[in-house]
Amino acid sequence: EAQVTQNPRYLITVTGKKLTVTCSQNMNHEYMSWYRQDPGLGLRQIYYSMNVEVTDKGDVPEGYKVSRKEKRNFPLILESPSPNQTSLYFCASLGTSGGGRTDTQYFGPGTRLTVL
Supply the DSSP string of 8-50, one letter for each residue.
-SEEEE-TT--EEEEEEESS--SEEEEEEEETTTEEEEEEEEE
Backbone angles phi, psi at 111, to 5 degrees: -130, 120
Q: What gap in Å lies between CA 94 and CA 110, rounded to an integer?
A: 16
Rounded to the nearest 5 degrees, what angle is found at the Cα of 91, between the Cα atoms of 88 and 93?
A: 155
Binding-site ranges for another protein (CB under 8 A): 31, 33, 35, 40-45, 48, 50, 56, 58-59, 88, 90, 92, 94, 96, 99-101, 103-105, 107, 109-110
| Minimal distance, residue 51 CB to another protein, in Å | 11
Q: Which is nearer to another protein, 63 or 110 (CB)?
A: 110
Q: Which is nearer to another protein, 83 or 100 (CB)?
A: 100
| Minimal distance, residue 25 CB to another protein, in Å | 14
| Minimal distance, residue 89 CB to another protein, in Å | 11
